[in-house]
Structure 1
Amino acid sequence: MTAKYPSVRRRVQASSLTLALVMACAATPAAADEAAIADDAGAAASAAVTDEAEDQTSRGDIIIVTARRRQETAQEVPVAISVIRGDSIEATGNFNVVKLQQLAPTLQVYTSNPRNTSVNIRGLGVPFGLTSDGFEQGVGIYVDDVYNSRVAAATFDFLDVAQVEVLRGPQGTLYGKNTTAGAINITTNQPTFDFEGRAEVSVGNLNYRQAKAAISGPLTDKIAARIAIAATSRRGTLFNVTSDRWINEQDNLGLRGQLLFQPNEDLSITLAGDYSKQDPEGYGTTYVRVGRTQRALARQYDALVAAVNAANPGRNYAVPSTNPYDRLADIDASLNAGNKIGGASVRVKWDVGPGTFTSISAWRFWDWKPENDRDFTGLSIVSKSQNPSQQDQYSQEFRYNYEGDKIDFVVGLFGFKQRIDTQGTEQQGTDASRWSLTGAPANDPSILNGLTATNTQYLKSTSAALFGQLSWKVTDALTIQPGARVNYDKKSGFYQRIVTNGAGGVISCTPAPPAGSVLAAQCGVYQPQKSSPSDSAWNFTYDFNVNYKVAPDILAYATYAKSFKTLGINQNGLPLNADNTVNFDASTVKPESINHYEIGLKTQFFDRRATFNLSAFRTDIKNFQATVNGGQFGTVRGYLANAEKVKSQGIEADLKVVVSDRFTAYANGAYTDAKYKKFTNAPCPPELSGGTLQPASAVPDYSQPGVPGALSPRQCDISGQRLPGVSKWAFSYGAEANAPATLLAKEGQVYLGVDGNYRSLWNSNASPSIYTEVKGYALTNFRIGFRSEGVDVFGWVRNAFDVNYIELLQVAPGNTGLIAGTVGDPRTWGGTVKFSF
């Protein structure tokens, strides 16, 4: 939409590697923008915008992206890419990577806490389930060109963000780290030599408070600085009756500072540092349901609760509610989710010869201090569970960009080093014997009470790569674009679990203790273990793109990419063999081998006031790295294994229309068919688990799901079933209308906006279960406000119709049938005031 007071075009220094969009208060806070947006009042482009692009602004705003490591209009990029501007992120309340999926339909983000957060594109990226440090991300997350090696280290609030680019499909020939499913490229606002600033305050229900501020300007004629700060707090959305307080709250603080030194027009050096702290009481779950497993009926959830109550007269334990949307929990273990993230980087850009040389040197840290309730109940089964981690990572990237009349190319060298240390403690409580043991031992709380597994582990990871991409402009319309990457990875890890009994004595499970003994009971819950997995691998990846300008505003493209996700190692302990010995063969996991095919069409029409983009894709993966879980409390939290074949295919469409200067609308949609094409030795879902195992030589029998006492398959063939976490259908949509208005003698606009998203049903277990299907849902948000030069005041309501929905379901350990979940936010409302100059 065209505002009466259009955005001021500020000159952003060409020294900045990535584009800085300087948002003025009149910029329309529409939601996700796919490619170029025909919006006369949009964000200001950088000084690097070509003359051709400047000429086009009379018809439509030009969104500049750096997806291909050079500045160009998004419609010229032959890649499926969503561009989400900073003002859109703020207006829709999507303040971090976790919330970003509401604006980008093919993005899936799941989290039970910052540590256990996964980001996937088109259903691919990282294994679904408890996070292991031993594998690589398939979706790279970059902030101002700095790679964040773990999703947990990128769960900070967005701070002074200019725009976010979500690239779909393999990106390893352009980005520092090999990314097999896509990349999220976050660009912050850069220092300017024009003095500017902004401040924003929001308040809402649930005691929501958020304040943001940023200021930028020159220190000398060659040095500019920018500093930004943000703080967010909100009451929790789940009430814990045990502690008598709300949990799963927000308590975030973020700081970012940048210093730009530009001694001349050809050279610039940017020093940046950031720090983020999150310190909520979280993250807890609530009771969702109980489903029958193949465990003996007396060993399933309802019977076990009754047995615990019978052993403790007068206790009468029951969950506070069987309706998850009552938002009640009874967690009895300590909860904590302390998360500190930060780092520093130096970015050098030097226009030398016919091209530009860029260097990015970075160090980042992540300090995670969690406490959880691993039994998901108010019973003292697991009385303590905590796995604090500390990470340091160093990265160095050198890159040279050249742009010519017929040839453009990028060539780069990337090096990466990482170390993660983790110290884990898990302890059994007073109800553990009754819950986990049978016969006479079940009546003796002392057997398991105080049984403690203390884990020490570290991961060392080194990576190096040479990559490049060439664009050959065969004609004015036809471009051929090959790319290649040579990659080396080495991983080495260490894991040791020491088990002590309630008296503090160290126990040993080798040789196997006599059946029925106290030691055998203890070893059945926690078994000492030690492993030192290590491996290395070279791989060669490449892609080939052909794109053709059918007309000035119509671009067609086709891409083939051969990609690899490097080897993985199991860092959270190894699974056990049938005889209760450690399966050391599972120490390492094979690399993924990926073949990716994509065709697309990017179009603009109605004098560039309408944008319609379409893409179709198919990705085939051999040796897909999946997270599996054996279902026990402490034998293994979850480990990596290879599924033989996986495929993901689908169609994506994006439409944005500026009907007039007063009305804009958009709709983005995706159909994704992501399946295990072949996975014959997968862990079984809970309804086919918990019973005596079928004979090893028998053909697996899946005919008695949820029948107590039935024999359980040793593994399940889930070939043909859908990947977890992926909805077949996903949409985002929105519109905004405005009209001239005067408020307090200040001329401006009054506006009304709506945005929303829809997801069809999906499954929340690595092996799809009838108990972990998450129903589809649609969320709708509204905002109404007034904006003028330097001021924007608006009220908002999110999840306006107070839709009940589940964000994540988890299968409780022990095959008891308990399913716990994370409930999505209820209706929230509030107001925001922004000032800028």
Structure 2
Amino acid sequence: MKHSKFKYSSCAMAVSVAMGGFAFPALAQDTMPDARQPEGRILESIEVTARRTVENMQQVPLAVTSLGADDISDRGLETILEVQQFSPNTTLQESRATNSTLTAFIRGVGQEDPLWGYESGVGIYVDDVYIARPQGAVLDILNIQRVEVLRGPQGTLYGKNTVGGALKYVTQRMTGEAELATTVTAGTHGQRDLKLVGQVPVTDDFYLGFGYANLTRDGFGKFLISDLPGQDLENYNKDLQAYRITAEYTPTDNVFVQFGYDKTEDTSNSKGGYRLLPSLLTNTAPVPDSIYDSYTSLPTENRVETEGMNLTVQWDVNNSTTLKSITSRRENYSPVNIDFDNTPLRIFDVPAIYEDEWFTQELQLSYRAGNFNVVSGLYYFDSESCGVFDAILEELGKSLGAAGLTREVSGCSNSKSTAVYADGTYRFNDQWSISGGIRYTKDEKDSVVRNGLIFDTVYPESGWLPGYVRSAPATPVVLDDSADWSKVTPRVSVEYQATADTMVYASYSEGFKSGTFNPRATTAEPAANPEDVESYEIGIKTDLTSTFRLNAAAFMLDHKDRQYISVIPDPDDNAALNQRLGNVGQSEAKGLEFEFTWIAGDNLSLFGNVGLIDADFSNVFSFDADLNRIDITDDFVITNTPEQTINLGFNYDMPVSTGDIVFTGNYSYRSEYSLTELGNVLEQEGYGIVNLGVSWTSADGKLSLGLHGKNLTDEEFLVGNYAFLGAADPSLPNGYAPGLGGDTTLIGYYGAPRTVSLSLGYRFGR
């Protein structure tokens, strides 16, 4: 199966943070008609905050995609995952066994492993508040002003862990009027959604906002056999509730204060994977008929709870100077059941608990003069990320004569980070300008890891199974250490405004992903140092006519000191070889990106994007038994990175006597991509999905109706996998020797099948 193409078909801090929407800043994606053509439909000026200040997207010297509220509504987008269709060289997918853990890659850079201690490669931000962990980061789209995708390292303005890029949510700000908006949605697979958002003016300068969402759906498939009675057997279901309360206060014309509290609880079942090979250890786990069906020996229940508060204060000191403070505190809690082998036996089960909390404080100063502007600031981040998992290998333990076998790993990774930054632009004249910035970051990390074997079947806590009481001994502390790093990340670009409608730029930028300790350490190994990315980019942003816009970029990047588990000599014992986390990899990527919008007529608009990328590992090393350094580059591939991403779509706006009807659709194609970096045995073939929708809005804007179909050709496509296989051997029943747990475990997780939904919305007020 090495590099074979299985086409087994293919395709929440979340809601709450984005939902009540009334969070600051509301730097709206305002639109203005182009004065060059007073009659007919023309291109609109799109404002973004990619550089932490309001700018025309066509004058920002970096590759950025912006989806406004109308785009999101017309296309019926529901979660962050769908945004990947509209941004080239971007991957946003659910991470294997949960609905709400995000796997994000941009330009071949991201992070596969969501375990505590590992850092992300793509930064997620909601109103400039950093979302530090992937658990709960599959954001449901609700009351959003716009979504921005920033491609390439953003190490100056956004700091560490944005080596691939950043994804920004900007939510709606309150209008000051009494309003209530409700939307109900019904769809295939028993989809039943209710969303409520509203606001109440308490005084002329003090407003309260609230939001609530209840999102439910039956499973796409079933758990066919489980050894636990009374389980919910829906697989790939959804059950999520979210709440938000927001207060906004404007004591004077130049001071704005916003406070928000939100909570989300996602109790969707843990997802079961599809066995691509039948089990060797039981005849009750053959390959299922449906890719959404599975087997499990674990409870199906799962929970992801996210809760947080944020406070933003902005003071416009004068026409040129603004001070802003952004404070947030968030926490996540997630007990999860991951059945790696997906059989009714305890061959390889991994129940786990993730607990995270973090505090951020940013003080920002913006200054604008005639030919100069700068954004500068101080940033502080303090987090604790903890967890425990039990790798249950019961069948293997029984074969060894024990009652069971469990490897238990637990620990915490505590991180503090402080930074100072400045980023600005100087305009020499109407055509030439130079932009640049620099950020200094000091990182400190403490880590404790407990790791050991227990010759029994053990779960993280009492009550995990009916009647289960935990009595296992604590595993030993194998690592208790701290480390610190400091990094300087610069950015520089040169811009040439060739005409009023065409800007050309060339840029160089750097970013880094934080150093870390191995959260699965078995010995007191040293920490891995930060990863570094250096990126070069040239681009053009042009409105070729008043109805056709083309943005294009060419880039190349070097990704150095990549952190991987490898065999590394023990510095205190040259005779010992240990599996350690080290900086043993390097990769390179180069590519092209194109985005266009064409107003083809008074009613018809066409849009699209193309991403082309060539990303490969250039150097990965390890050591052999004689402590000789060896090259294992050929064993690694860049994952979640199709060489081609293509999207073509349309909007047709048809005014009618009762309001406005919009027809929309798009075709999104992704070429083949790999699922696992090391020893890849599974690839997804190229596929395309078709989406169509129609929506009607009444003339007064109060009543709306939308019908949307997603993945209408019912493509089947992999978004994740687990592979635990021995050496390939065609003479064996499944073509492989047994892997960890004593079985041939090759598991696939898939994107959503064809879905159709009907939404009805009504807005009171205005």
Measured in 1, the distance between the counterparts of 2:195 and 2:24 equals 25
1:81 counterpart (46, 64, 80): 64
- The secondary structure found in structure 2 opposite 1:88 is helix
Three-state SS of the structure 1 residue aligned to 2:156 is coil
How far residue 640 of structure 1 moved from its aligned partner, in angstroms, is 4.0
Partner of 2:482: 534
- TM alignment of 1:395-474, pairs within 5 A: 395-429=360-394, 431-433=395-397, 441=400, 444=401, 447=402, 449-474=403-428
Other structure's SS at 2:72 match = helix
Unaligned runs of 5+ in 2: 1-21, 227-231, 459-473, 569-578, 726-738
Q: CA deviation at 1:428?
A: 3.5
Match of 1:596 among 523, 531, 535: 535
3-state SS, counterpart of residue 71 of structure 2:
helix
Q: Which amino acid aligns with 1:265?
A: D
Assess if the C-alpha contact under 8 Å between 2:649 and 2:665 holds in 1. Answer: yes
Where in structure 2 are the equivalents of 1:283-682 lying within 5 Å?
283-289=271-277, 305=280, 308=281, 317-323=283-289, 325=291, 327-353=292-318, 354-382=320-348, 384-429=349-394, 431-433=395-397, 441=400, 444=401, 447=402, 449-502=403-456, 530-574=478-522, 582=523, 584-585=524-525, 587-607=526-546, 609-626=547-564, 640-681=581-622
Residue-by-residue CA offset, 1:585-643 (whole Å, 9 max, x unaligned): 4x411222222100000011322x2211000111102211246799xxxxxxx974423
| Match 1:123 to one of 108, 126, 145 | 108
Q: How far 1:656 sits from its partner (Å)?
A: 0.8
Seen in structure 2, the aligned counterparts of structure 1 residues 553 and 640 have a Cα distance that, compared at 3 Å, is: farther
Matched, 1:830 2:757: yes
Question: Is the 2:356–2:383 contact (alpha carbons within 8 Å) kept by the matching residues of 1?
Answer: yes
Q: Where do 1:15-414 residues align within 5 Å? A: 18-21=25-28, 44=30, 59-110=42-93, 111-112=95-96, 113=98, 117-126=102-111, 128=112, 130-175=113-158, 177=160, 179-243=162-226, 245-289=233-277, 305=280, 308=281, 317-323=283-289, 325=291, 327-353=292-318, 354-382=320-348, 384-414=349-379
CA distance in 2, matches of 1:340, 1:476: 51
Shift in Å, 1:721: 5.7
1:806 and 2:754 are equivalent in the alignment: no
C-alpha displacement at 1:768, in angstroms? 4.8
2:130 and 2:40 map into 1 onto residues whose CA distance is: 33
Are 1:132 and 1:572, in contact at CA under 8 Å, matched by a contact in 2?
Answer: no
**Does the 8 Å CA contact 1:459/1:492 hold for their aligned counterparts?**
yes
Between the aligned partners of 1:99 and 1:85, the Cα distance in structure 2 is 14
Aligned partners of 2:341 and 2:745 also within 8 Å: no
Amino acid paired to 2:451: R
Q: Secondary structure at the match of 2:189?
A: coil
Q: Secondary structure at the match of 2:140?
A: coil
Q: Deviations over 1:491-550 (max 9, x none)?
A: 11111135433399xxxxxxxxxxxxxxxxxxxxx9966211321011111010111111
Distance in 1 (alpha carbons) for counterparts of 2:527 and 2:602? 58
* Number of the residue aligned with 1:718: 633
Question: Which sections of structure 1, spanning at least 5 residues, go unmatched?
Answer: 1-14, 22-42, 291-300, 310-316, 505-525, 575-581, 631-637, 683-694, 701-714
Out of 693, 696, 701, the residue aligned to residue 625 of structure 2 is 696
CA distance in 2, matches of 1:370, 1:387: 5
Q: Deviations over 1:404-434 (max 9, x none)?
A: 11110011100000012213334333x3346
CA distance in 2, matches of 1:242, 1:72: 56
- Which digits, 9 at most, give the CA deviation of each residue in 1:345-366, with x for residues without a partner? 1101001143100000110111
Query: Which 10-residue stretch deviates more, 348-357 or 371-380?
Result: 371-380
Q: CA deviation at 1:322?
A: 5.0
Counterpart residue number, 1:298: none
Deviation (angstroms), 1:215: 1.6
Whole-angstrom distance in 2 between the partners of 1:720 and 1:602: 39
Range that drifts further, 805-814 or 475-484: 805-814
Q: Matched residue of 1:568: which SS?
A: coil
Identify if the C-alpha distance between structure 1 residues 823 and 176 changes in structure 2 by more than 3 Å, giving closer, same or farther: closer
Whether the 8 Å contact between 1:16 and 1:268 is mirrored in structure 2 is: no
Bigger Rg, which one: 1
Identity of aligned residues (%): 24
**Root-mean-square deviation over aligned CA pairs:** 3.0
> Which letter does structure 1 place at the counterpart of 2:106?
I
Q: Which amino acid aligns with 1:796?
A: H
Aligned to 1:712: none
Counterpart pick for 1:792 among 697, 704, 715 = 704
| Closer, same or farther: CA 345–825 of 1 in aligned 2, 3 Å | same
The verdict on how the C-alpha distance between 1:199 and 1:44 changes in structure 2, with shifts beyond 3 A counting, is farther
C-alpha separation in 2, matches of 1:184 and 1:628: 31
Contact 2:114 2:135 in 1 (8 A): no
* Displacement of 1:53: 12
Q: How many angstroms does 1:168 deviate by?
A: 0.8
TM-score, length of structure 1 as denominator length: 0.78
Preserved contact between residue 642 and residue 672 of structure 2 (Cα < 8 Å): yes
Q: How far did residue 149 of structure 1 move?
A: 0.8
Structure 1 residue 17 displacement after superposition: 5.1
User: d(CA) in 1 for partners of 2:580 and 2:663?
Assistant: 49
How big is the shift at 1:62? Answer: 2.3
Distance 1:629 1:334 in 2: 35
2-structure distance, mates of 1:764, 1:192: 45
**In 2: Cα distance, 1:98 partner to 1:541 partner:** 29
Separation in structure 2 between the aligned mates of residue 145 and residue 282 of structure 1, nearest angstrom: 30
CA deviation profile, 1:275-309 (whole Å, cap 9, x unmatched): 1110011121011247xxxxxxxxxx6xxx2xx46
For the 8 Å contact 2:101–2:137, the answer to whether it is kept is no
Q: Which deviations, in whole Å up to 9, do the C-alpha atoms of 1:709-739 show, x marking residues without a partner?
A: xxxxxx7612596411110001122112233
- Give 2:664's match in structure 1, choosing from 730, 738, 753: 753
| Cα distance, 1:623–1:756 mapped onto 2, change above 3 Å | same
Deviations 1:643-696 (A, max 9, x none): 3321121000001111122111111110011110111339xxxxxxxxxxxx83
SS of the equivalent of 2:296 reads coil
Matched residue pairs, number? 693
| Cα pair 2:74 2:694 within 8 Å, conserved | no
**Residues 1:558 and 1:370: Cα distance change in structure 2 (over 3 Å):** same
Judged with a 3 Å threshold, the aligned counterparts in structure 2 of structure 1 residues 660 and 54 are, in CA distance, closer, same or farther, namely closer
1:783 correspondence with 2:693: yes
AA aligned opposite 1:780: V
Contact map agreement 1:17 1:349 (CA 8 A) in 2: no
Q: Check conservation: 1:288, 1:323, Cα contact below 8 A.
A: no
SS in 2 for 1:98: helix
